[in-house]
Amino acid sequence: MLLALLLLAPVANDVPQRLVGGALADGMAYQRLSELTDTVGARLSGSPGAEAAVQWALQRFKQDGLDAHLEPVKVPHWVRGEETGEILAGARRQPLAITALGGSVGGDVTAEVVEARSLDDLRDVRGKVVFFNHEMNKPQDYGRDVDLRSRGPAVAGRAGAVGVLLRSLATASFRSPHTGVTIYEADAPRIPAAAVSTEDADFIHRMLARGPVKAHFTLGCRWLPDADSFNVVADVRGRERPDEIVLMGAHLDSWDLAQGANDDGAGVAMVMEAGRLLQALPQHPRRTVRVVLFMNEENGLAGGKAYAAAHAGELAKHVAAIEADAGAGRALGITLRAGDGGDAMLMPWLEPLHTALGIGLQREGEAGGADISPMGPAQVPFAGVHVDPTHYFDIHHSAADTLDKIDPQLLAQDAAAHALLAYGLAEMPQPLPRPPAREPRNRQEPLKAH
């Protein structure tokens, strides 16, 4: 059966070489990432950096020959301000490496600290600072512990706490706190919330074992009115079925602490490079490949929601969606969420990926992503390039997310993998079967496919 399918997959012999060879030889993905991180820098929604990134991406897409345009998005605008903190234990005053959680209110807090290990572990917290501690030490722990960040301040505020300190969600730290969005609830008090480095979290835990501990921290963050921004959309027009779309997405925004090189500058560079290489093919794939750089994934998902709403009438013609938002580790395999028989249909088109890069279909785990998740109710098939997440959370959402952490060769390979995957999905004679309908997740913050 597989041999028969392979015979039905007439990938032009020169296409893999043009896509893989171009990505590996040209060095364009790393060059683009360097431009984005070094000349634009941090790109939190509503900031001047985010606006500069939009204009930069639009110009680069047009230089590459793609049909590019901007689609408006109204985004939240939160600014960090100054932030300081210290632990008071007897006569000891220990400064904290601290950073506000995204979306936190500002304020000045001094109160006794109580430690909690879960959202259900809040006892006698009225008038106190809740210190959420946890044991994240590998990437897979993120999904288990992320509720402490996204919902912890709201739950603690409802229980009467006056502030929250969170052990950073990180697999490594050099006293670098890791931020991330927190979500308040309409009927609960909004209390200041900040992350502390893992080293400081260990210190707080040890000092609590010795006796009472107080925390004093000040956050200067505040909310400004929603800002006007854009998704950047660029098409490689299909030669036969241009109304059928294979979407490749990444998010253009980043947190404000660093350059956002891994999250998600790397994804931006991958899909832009894939689009450039596909546009340069002598013969485009039969369907349109659309590259979308979404705005506001980090603290609101406005871009993903706006795209799904603006293109609601076309989602039935979106035959697949790919999201690159897991860093630039080594490509390990292809993930898929499609209907029955989708695996068998896609496998022959992955043969060039296996030959060139040694990766094929991954049987465990499903494709997905935060920005493409609003297309899920339309039962759009999802595919993805699964990359090694081992060191992703070492720098995730921290000041250490800088260009020097990116391996140019791995980035180029990841870009090539995205180009080949998108080409196969856009060229295969019949589109993938659509997956069954799925119940919406009971979660306020869609999680990335880490």
Alpha-carbon span 155 to 150, nearest angstrom: 10
Alpha-carbon span 200 to 43, nearest angstrom: 27
| Closest to 179 measured CA to CA, from 171, 191, 167 | 167
Three-class DSSP labels, 118-185: CCCCCCCCCCCEEEECCCCCCHHHHHHHHHHHHCHHHHHHHCCCCEEEEECCCCCCCCCCCCCECCCC
Question: In the block, which residue shows the tokens 């632990």?
Answer: 87
Catalytic residue status for 297: yes
Sign for the pseudo-dihedral over CA of 388, 292, 338, 241: negative
Burial class (CB in 10 A: 0-12, 13-18, 19+), 250: buried
- 365 sits in the region (left: phi over 0; alpha: psi -120 to 50; else beta) called left
Contact of 311 with 385, CB cutoff 8 Å? no
Sign for the pseudo-dihedral over CA of 320, 323, 328, 333: negative
Alpha-carbon span 180 to 146, nearest angstrom: 9
Alpha helices by DSSP H, 231-279: 266-279
Alpha-carbon span 193 to 132, nearest angstrom: 11
Q: Exactly one of 83, 244, 297, 427 is catalytic; name it.
A: 297
Active site residues: 297
